Structure 1
Amino acid sequence: MFALAFPGQGTLRVGMGAWMRRRDVARAVLDRVDEILQRPLSDLVTTGPADRLVDTRNAQLAVTACNLAALELLRDEGIRPTVVAGHSVGEFSALFAAGVLSLEDTLALVRRRSDLMAAVSRVGGMASVMKLDLAKVERLVGSVTDEGEPLVVGIENGRGHTVVSGSARALERFVDAVDGRAPVTRLAVSNAFHSPLMDEAQQQWREEVGRYTFAAPDVPVIPNVRGTEVTDPVDLHQCVIDQLTGRVRWTETLDTLGARGERTQVEVGDSKALTKIARAQGHTWFTMSDPATPARLARVAEQVAS
């Protein structure tokens, strides 16, 4: 009855998760993450500086740590998922929640992923496009893409909410092509994630993921590149490999969650980003950015059980 969704790198900010650290079970998770990483990541999240925190090498691990602390708060209330999903790097939190990966393997994969993405030599950008349907965005993207200067739809956040990703020059041409017909916002990211510019890191990522064994999930996982339920660990393995350059199909993920009819859908992390996207699509979600949410969900579970 509980669908859990984990946010990604775009939700990062200095001080995130502060209220969670006041709970022993969440603080224990954050301390354990520091121990595994052998560095005080939690101090960086708490106090910054922001320029170090938003570095991809730190950002993806920081968001993952906060997601997992939020998950432990739910577990402490007796809440278990019936399906999980995660947005971009949030997918690794989902895999942990489903029992596919151990904590150590989750952090190791996120660390390697972030290192590889940060080391890509071809630098591009990303931009959010609002109030323009996907077909029109794709046509505009196709009209500005040249050989050696790719641009793609990297993320489908929702209907009328798309993120394009790729070459900086192609991105400039895209903004010009939109020509004020829709709001376009450049994202504060270090490169063009979920785009062909990540191809440079793909082989190393494939080899890295190949070193890990994925367990069969306790509950279905909805991977970004599919947007549909997956329970086969071999399929999940391939989805994680493909995710580096593949499209985040979050619109389809929301549709899949809605079709399942889960009574309660929760954004598990110190963020409202996924909740806002889901509510804009007509879904009812809870957010863990509200400290009262774990107790509120525990009451929902009690009502269902009775």
Structure 2
Amino acid sequence: MFGFLFPGQGTVRVGMGAWLRRRPVARDRLDEIDALLSRPISPLCARGPLDRLVSTEHAQVAVTACNLAALAVLAEEGYEPAVVAGHSVGELTALHAAGVLDLAETVRLVETRARLMAVAGGGGGMRAVMGLAVERVEELAAEAAAPGEPVVVGLENAPGHVVVSGAAPALDRLEKLATDATKIMPLKVGDAYHSPLMAAAVPKWAAAVAAAAMRAPRVPVVPNVTGEPTTDLRTLREALVAQLTGRVRWIRTVGAVDAIAPGVEVGDSKVLAGLSRRAGARCLSMADPGTLRRLAKEVAA
């Protein structure tokens, strides 16, 4: 048994999903998702242009489609998860993998989430701060923030890899203060996700989550905002809403998954496998052509 980890929107690129379309079960799943969407995503994944693909309204849908197609490949191979988690929007695929959401509900929710986040906020951004402990970045964020210009730790990706999210002036102040960071890099995102600047999207997102048909999970799910495994449906609903403005505690999340089973990054990305290794956790990526053979060997052993 393995822990299934699903990547988020920062992993999109033109050509994503190409290897999945060579597997009939994945190709069928991608076609099914295209039919459920208000606008098919596969042509944009295949040909771009990149500036449209990386926009929030498209990126979240694109990565979810690839996650779901990769999950179909694992299911065809006979693999079931022992525990699941997803990075940011990847949490929706994790809920599907755990049996909480059916396919149509998953697609509907991701399209709703992407649309709401695309129009919320404004004037914000995100930057990766490398080489500093999260406690130090929290101190810097508190010093850089000002009334009406928040900046917070949005993602704890790995030791020494923290993402801050907030108003552009506050981000600029933080960058000037962080003279002890090894590197600070702006992320190519549309706004300040996982920060207070997403608050405008919360009421409609909460309503969408409340209206969604959900079932009790078959396996534990580790929500981003808690980093703790749970099978409580109420907790999962609340965490899904809180995640919009709350912190992605990915270091804690992968630690919780690794304590139950070795991880597999399920999608067309190697990002989570790399972050997991930096956190001392075991994780293979399905984007590596040899992963399915390695999984079979581990099961046989």
Q: TM-score range by the shorter chain?
A: over 0.9
Aligned to 1:222, what secondary structure does the other structure show?
A: coil
Matched-pair contact (CA < 8 Å) for 1:193–1:245:
yes
Matched-pair contact (CA < 8 Å) for 2:130–2:181:
no
Tell me the equivalent position of 1:173: 173
Structure 1 residue 8 displacement after superposition: 0.2
Instruction: Quickly say closer, same or farther: Cα 1:38–1:118, change in 2 above 3 A.
Output: closer
Structure 1 residue 283 displacement after superposition: 2.1
Matched-pair contact (CA < 8 Å) for 1:214–1:234:
no
- Runs of 5+ consecutive residues of structure 1 not aligned to the other structure: none
Aligned to 2:191, what secondary structure does the other structure show?
A: coil
What TM-score do you get using the length of structure 1 for normalisation? 0.96
Structure 1 residue 169 displacement after superposition: 0.4
Single out whichever of 145-154 and 251-260 deviates more from structure 2: 251-260
Tell me the equivalent position of 2:17: 17
For 2:74 and 2:289, how far apart are their aligned partners in 1?
11
Structure 1 residue 90 displacement after superposition: 0.4
For 1:208 and 1:269, how far apart are their aligned partners in 2?
25
Q: After the TM superposition, which parts of structure 1 deviate over 6 Å for at least 4 consecutive aligned residues?
A: none
Query: Where does 1:31-110 land on structure 2 (aligned, <5 Å)?
Result: 31-110=31-110
Structure 1 residue 230 displacement after superposition: 1.1
- Runs of 5+ consecutive residues of structure 2 not aligned to the other structure: none
What TM-score do you get using the length of structure 2 for normalisation? 0.97
For 1:284 and 1:231, how far apart are their aligned partners in 2?
23
Tell me the equivalent position of 2:258: 258
Matched-pair contact (CA < 8 Å) for 2:132–2:180:
no
The aligned amino acid for 1:64 is T
The aligned amino acid for 1:222 is V
Structure 1 residue 38 displacement after superposition: 4.3
Structure 1 residue 165 displacement after superposition: 0.1
- Superposition RMSD on alpha carbons, in Å? 1.2
Matched-pair contact (CA < 8 Å) for 1:77–1:298:
no
Structure 1 residue 121 displacement after superposition: 4.1
The aligned amino acid for 2:86 is G
After superposition, what is the alpha-carbon deviation per residue over 1:236-283, rounded to whole angstroms, capped at 9, x for unaligned? Answer: 1111111110100001112212322x1x31000111101111111222
The aligned amino acid for 1:291 is P
Query: Where does 1:142-221 land on structure 2 (aligned, <5 Å)?
Result: 142-179=142-179, 181-221=181-221
For 2:97 and 2:293, how far apart are their aligned partners in 1?
19
Tell me the equivalent position of 2:134: 134
For 1:109 and 1:178, how far apart are their aligned partners in 2?
37
Tell me the equivalent position of 2:285: 287
Structure 1 residue 158 displacement after superposition: 1.4
Corresponding pairs, count: 301
Aligned to 1:192, what secondary structure does the other structure show?
A: coil
The aligned amino acid for 1:44 is L
